Structure formats: structure tokens, C-alpha cells
């Protein structure tokens, strides 16, 4: 009897061991993506479920301490076969991967979990400081929400590229300006720099034009031709300067620079765990619409009082003079050339009024200006030649004075000057002009009386009506008429803004003609420069607005005050934006030069006709 009990006990033990050998189990483990030694805030990491001999799938947890649940799915399976003493047994297991994003620093624990009544172990993990750089404010303010949507299994099924907000910690743009406080008209450097940790990157282009409100802008071609590497907060980024502009503040106060949007295509690495191969990754296409941060520049007014002969130039400059001719004759035109060389707002420099400086015996005419500039990495440099024509009205020796060119140097904060040398010229007698010939022919006492014998009977000329009419009344009438004409001329030309307003259409037509020539030659950049000159110049002259007040908002208000319809005002401002966009981002612009030229002509003609109707 005792032997039977022993055998029964051994049999029960063997059955229990056999059952336990094939009972289901659940095991948890923490996996860190390959290439990382620890988990930082913002990093992805994984908790793997190894479920053995259980057909039921575990449930997706609602929350995990210190992390956000991204998605949960089965990522692998395996099976085992064994044969002992002719008996074949089978065991199978499934692997489920829980993808998480670390959100809080600290030491955390997850588990145990229960699958079909089988309880698992628990796992511990630590989350340290962030390993991804947080971009500048305004640069990626929406990166957290845009780069971490609930991806679930639909991301696995998505075939095309996806778009996310303004970038993320692995790719962003940072805008900077050389100085946050500067003088009015001082040259500043605005730079847009790309930071990325992605392996493959393709820069597609700008999808919007930058907004420089209150600035005159010159685009620099000095950008990066290759990637360089830079470490930011312990993380290495590939960097490149993708845009650089030289900007000149026109107004005083707080001026805003709004960054434009760029589209960048990259390959994103998706990490997953394979039970046979371990941690693996796959590249998936990703498109980012990235916008750099906005900037504010404080523009300061130039120191007062300004010199009376201040040229308006801000930077460093010098002036020279050249008098080509050696001999001079009265009533014959000659020329003198003044050349201003330097760096700064050189396109907008001007010389003093020479008629106020030169001797009154020398008449000076409006000069022709030849501008040659180069936009570098930190400033605009070049030279401007002013070719003046002058005419000696009398013979003699005259002194052409030295010309003092006054400019403001922002590096020293003082007004400085450069001086072009003067000349002493001798003027000989030249051929008389038509006016002088007429005067000499009508010299007093020459052929005024007819030659011959006096008549015996004749009356006094003083008693004749024609005598008084021709000698006094007619000259007086001519003198009064000339005085009235001259007074009207002075009145109409006293207000130069009104003069420019009347000539605005004619000046715009000249600039449009130059734009048309550039369009036919295929000179794209020069074409958009001329179109912008035509549009901005026409609006400035027609609306009597100085350059310092020439902003889109001010233009719209002025046009509406002049009776222009709101739609027409919006169209011409939109055309300016299209020109600037096509100039700074030609690859992303969908418009042609012919379309821009046609719209520009129609816009200017439309405003001109509307203003003429208002006058009538």
C-alpha cells in the first residue's frame, strides 16, 4: 500500500512539472534605440512584451510613468519544436513593442502586467536630461505638438511624405542679425542658418518671401556651399547658411523682421525591435515646413544736430574729383567727375548742390550717376560716379572749389568728411551763342536809323502811337507776362513732392521700359529690381511719401484716402509681394516675368486713371 502511494506521488509531481514546463509566461524588458546609451527627455524608447504560449494579446496601457504612449503593436513571433522519446511538443511566443516618448526626468517603474491571467515581471528605467536641443523661441514653438502626433499603426501604412509644423529638435532654422541696436541707414547682416541631425537632407526651397518692414534690402550671394558641423548643448549638428541679406533700417524705433518659410525633405529613421535581428531601423521620407524665428531691431536716429551739408551717407566713404579737359572756352560745355567710394548705403548718397558752391560765372547742370556696387557678406561696397556738365559764361580765371562730402560713421558714432580737390581754370573767348549774336546785332546805335536824306516834311516819332506801343507798352506787357510765368514756375516747383507726383507716371514708364529690356534679355534679377523700382518709386512720388514712411500699410491707407478702391490697392501691394518673392525665391515662384510685367503696367495705369477721375 505504501509503495502504491509513493508511485502516485511521483506521478503527480511529474505531471505538475510537465504542466509547468509548458505553462504560458509574460516577460517585460526595456530597449533603448541603437546609438544611444541612456534615455533623455524627448527621446523614444521601447518596452517589449515577450508572451510565450498564450494566444491572447496584451492590452495597450493607457499611460506609462514619465513617458507618453506613442503606439503599441505586435512586432514579431517565433515557435519551437522538440521531440523526446517519440513525443513531439511545440511552444510559441509573440513579441509586442510599446513605443514611448520620454517626457519627465527621474527613475520610474512599469509593470507588472497580466495577460490571460499570467502575471509578468516589472521593469525599471531612468530618464535623464534632454538630449535634443530646444530651438529658439518662435523657431519651433509648435514642434512638440507637430513632431509627436498619435502615430499609431497608420504611420506604418502611410506611403507618401508627411508634413510637420515648423521643424523639430533634429532640424530647425535660426535667424540672427549682426546688431540688435543700430543707427538709421546703418548696414546690418541678417542670416538664416540651418541645423540638422538627419542623415540625408534635400533643401527644396522657400515657399514665402521674408518680410523686412521698414528696411531697404540687398540679397547677398555669400551662403554655404557645403555643410559644416557645430555642437550645440552637447549635440552635434550639420549646419549651413542658406540665406544672407544686407538690410538698412529706414525708420526709427522697433522694426520687425519676419522669417520666411522653407521646405526641407529628409529621411527619418524609425527604430523597432526584431526578436531575431535585435534593434533595427528603416528610413522613411519626411518633409518639414521650417520657419526661422522673428527678430526685432531697434533703430536709432542719427545724432543731432546734423551738418548742413550732410550727404545722407552712413558708412565709411571717400571722394575724389577728376577734371579731364585742359582748356576751356566761354559758351562751351565741359565736364567734371566726382567719384564716391566706400561701404554702406552707397546707392543712396548725394552730393551738395554745386550751383550754390561754384562761381556764378560757371553754370552747372544735373549730373548723370553711374553706380557700381557689390553685395558682400557683411556690407554693400562700391562706387558712384557723378558726371557733371558745366558751362563757363564769361572769360577769365575761376576757382572750382574743393567739395566736402560729409557722412556718418556708425563705428565711431560721429559725422566725418572726405574732400575732393578743387581746380583753378582759365576760360578763353569762345564762339558766341545765338543769344549773344542777336545782342551784338542789336547793339545800340547800329542801323537803327535809315540811311538817306531826311524828308522835308516829317513828324516826331515821339508823337506816334507806334512809338509808345512798341517802346513802352509792348515791352511792359512782355515783362509782366514773363514775371507771371516765372512766378508760376517758382510756385509749381517750390514743392518738389508735388513735382515728383506730377511726373510719377512718366518716371514709372521709363523704369518699366528698362524692365522690359531686361525681360527680353532674360536678365531675371535686374528685371525684378527695375519692377520694384518702378512700383515703389511710382507710389512714393504719386502719394508724396518719403522713403522712410514707405511701408505696405501706409501705402494702403494713402491709396484709400485718395479714393482708390480697396481691391485695387490690395492688388498693387500683392504685386510688390510677388516681385519680392520671385526675386528672393525664384525656384519656388510660379509666375513668369511676362505676367509680372503685364500686371505692373496694368496696376500703374489703373491707379493713374483712378486718381485722374478723382481730380475731375
CATH code, 497-615: 1.20.120
Residue 189 DSSP label: E
Instruction: CATH 1.20.120 in the chain: give the residue spans.
Output: 497-615
Task: Compute the distance between CA of residue 148 and CA of residue 153 in angstroms, rounded to an integer.
Answer: 14
DSSP state of 261: P
Closest CA to 297 of 145, 431, 132, 185: 185
Q: Which three cell numbers stand for residue 355?
A: 550751383
Grid coordinates standing for 238? 550639420
3-state secondary structure of 103: coil
Q: Which three cell numbers stand for residue 151?
A: 502615430
Which residues is 81 bridged to in the sheet? 90
What local confidence, expressed as pLDDT, does residue 438 receive?
41
Strand partners, 513: none
Could you say which of 2.60.40, 2.40.160, 1.10.3470, 3.30.420 is the CATH number of the domain covering 143-300? Answer: 2.60.40
- Three-state SS at 505: helix
| Beta strands across the sheet bearing 295-300 | 181-183, 295-300, 253-258, 211-212
**Cα–Cα distance for residue pair 511/518, rounded to 1 Å:** 11
φ, ψ at 256 (rounded to 5°):
-105, 140
Tell me the pLDDT tens digit for each residue of 563-614: 888 888 888 888 888 887 777 666 555 678 888 888 888 888 888 888 777 7
Residue ranges, comma separated, of all CATH 2.60.40.740 domains in the chain are 23-128
Tell me the pTM. Answer: 0.47
- The answer to whether residue 2 scores a pLDDT higher than 90 is no
Domain at 310-432: CATH code:
2.60.40
Distance CA 173, CA 140 (A): 9
Between 3.40.50.1000, 2.40.40.20, 1.10.10.10, 2.60.40.740, what CATH number should domain 23-128 receive? 2.60.40.740
Q: For 399-425, what is each residue's pLDDT tens digit?
A: 999 999 999 999 999 999 999 999 989
Name the residue among 152, 148, 154, 150 with its Cα closest to residue 169.
148
What is the edge-to-edge ordering of all strands in the sheet holding 163-164?
A: 163-164, 278-290, 262-274, 201-206
pLDDT exceeding 90 applies to what percent of the chain? 20
Cα–Cα distance for residue pair 195/507, rounded to 1 Å: 45
- Whole-angstrom distance, CA of residue 337 vs CA of residue 19: 108
Q: Is 53 exposed, middle or buried (CB count within 10 Å of its CB: 0-12, 13-18, 19+)? A: middle
Sole residue written with cell 481730380: 615
Give residue-wise pLDDT tens across range 251-288.
899 999 988 888 887 777 666 656 566 566 666 777 77
Q: What is the pLDDT of residue 13?
A: 47
Amino acid at each position: 500500500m505504501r509503495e502504491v502511494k509513493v508511485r502516485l506521488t511521483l506521478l503527480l509531481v511529474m505531471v505538475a512539472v510537465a504542466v509547468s514546463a509548458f505553462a504560458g509566461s509574460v516577460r517585460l524588458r526595456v530597449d533603448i534605440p541603437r546609438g544611444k546609451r541612456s534615455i533623455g527627455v524627448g527621446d523614444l524608447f521601447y518596452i517589449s512584451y515577450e508572451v510565450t504560449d498564450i494566444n491572447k494579446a496584451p492590452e495597450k496601457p493607457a499611460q506609462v510613468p514619465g513617458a507618453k504612449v506613442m503606439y503599441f503593436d505586435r512586432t514579431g513571433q517565433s515557435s519551437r519544436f522538440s521531440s523526446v522519446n517519440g513525443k513531439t511538443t511545440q511552444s510559441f511566443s509573440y513579441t509586442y513593442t510599446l513605443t514611448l516618448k520620454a517626457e519627465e526626468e527621474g527613475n520610474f517603474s512599469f509593470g507588472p502586467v497580466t495577460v490571460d491571467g499570467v502575471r509578468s515581471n516589472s521593469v525599471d528605467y531612468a530618464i535623464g536630461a534632454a538630449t535634443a536641443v530646444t530651438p529658439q523661441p518662435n523657431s519651433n514653438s509648435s514642434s512638440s505638438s507637430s513632431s509627436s502626433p498619435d502615430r499609431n499603426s497608420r504611420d506604418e501604412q502611410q506611403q507618401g511624405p508627411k508634413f510637420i509644423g515648423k521643424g523639430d529638435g533634429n532640424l530647425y532654422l535660426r535667424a540672427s542679425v549682426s546688431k540688435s541696436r543700430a543707427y538709421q541707414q546703418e548696414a546690418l547682416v541678417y542670416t538664416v542658418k540651418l541645423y540638422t541631425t538627419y542623415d540625408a537632407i534635400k533643401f527644396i526651397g522657400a515657399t514665402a518671401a521674408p518680410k523686412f518692414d521698414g528696411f531697404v534690402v540687398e540679397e547677398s550671394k555669400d551662403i554655404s556651399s557645403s555643410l559644416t558641423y557645430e555642437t550645440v548643448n552637447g549635440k552635434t549638428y550639420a549646419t549651413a547658411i542658406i540665406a544672407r541679406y544686407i538690410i538698412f533700417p529706414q525708420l526709427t524705433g522697433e522694426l520687425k523682421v519676419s522669417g520666411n518659410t522653407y521646405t526641407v525633405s529628409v529621411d527619418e529613421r524609425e527604430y523597432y525591435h526584431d526578436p531575431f535581428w535585435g534593434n533595427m531601423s528603416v528610413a522613411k521620407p519626411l518633409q518639414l515646413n521650417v520657419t526661422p524665428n522673428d527678430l526685432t531691431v531697434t533703430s536709432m536716429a542719427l545724432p543731432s544736430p546734423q551738418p548742413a551739408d550732410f550727404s545722407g551717407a552712413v558708412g565709411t566713404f571717400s571722394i575724389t574729383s577728376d577734371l579731364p579737359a585742359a582748356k576751356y572756352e566761354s559758351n562751351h560745355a565741359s565736364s567734371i567727375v566726382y567719384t564716391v567710394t566706400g561701404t554702406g548705403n552707397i546707392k543712396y548718397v548725394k552730393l551738395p548742390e554745386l550751383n550754390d558752391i561754384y562761381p556764378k560765372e560757371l553754370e552747372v547742370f544735373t549730373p548723370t550717376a553711374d553706380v557700381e556696387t557689390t553685395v558682400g557678406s557683411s556690407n554693400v561696397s562700391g562706387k558712384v560716379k557723378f558726371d557733371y556738365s558745366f558751362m563757363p559764361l564769361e572769360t577769365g580765371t575761376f576757382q572750382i572749389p574743393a567739395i566736402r562730402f560729409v557722412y556718418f560713421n556708425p563705428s565711431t558714432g560721429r559725422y566725418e568728411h572726405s574732400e575732393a580737390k578743387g581746380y583753378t581754370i582759365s576760360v578763353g573767348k569762345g564762339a558766341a551763342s545765338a543769344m549773344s549774336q542777336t545782342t551784338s546785332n542789336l547793339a545800340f546805335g547800329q542801323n537803327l536809323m535809315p540811311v538817306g536824306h531826311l524828308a522835308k516834311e516829317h513828324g516826331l516819332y515821339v508823337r506816334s502811337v507806334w512809338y509808345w506801343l512798341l517802346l513802352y507798352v509792348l515791352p511792359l506787357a512782355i515783362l509782366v507776362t514773363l514775371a507771371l510765368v516765372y512766378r508760376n514756375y517758382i510756385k509749381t516747383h517750390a514743392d518738389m513732392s508735388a513735382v515728383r507726383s506730377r511726373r510719377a507716371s512718366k518716371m514709372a514708364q521709363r523704369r518699366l521700359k528698362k524692365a522690359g529690356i531686361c525681360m527680353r534679355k532674360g536678365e531675371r534679377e535686374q528685371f525684378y529690381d527695375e519692377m520694384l523700382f518702378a512700383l515703389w518709386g511710382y507710389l512714393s512720388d504719386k502719394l508724396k511719401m518719403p522713403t522712410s514712411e514707405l511701408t505696405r500699410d501706409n501705402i494702403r491707407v494713402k491709396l484709400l484716402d485718395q479714393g482708390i478702391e480697396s481691391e485695387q490697392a490690395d492688388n498693387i501691394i500683392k504685386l510688390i509681394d510677388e516681385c519680392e518673392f520671385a526675386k528672393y525665391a525664384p525656384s519656388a515662384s510660379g509666375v513668369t516675368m511676362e505676367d509680372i510685367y503685364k500686371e505692373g503696367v496694368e496696376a500703374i495705369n489703373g491707379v493713374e486713371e483712378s486718381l485722374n477721375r478723382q481730380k475731375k
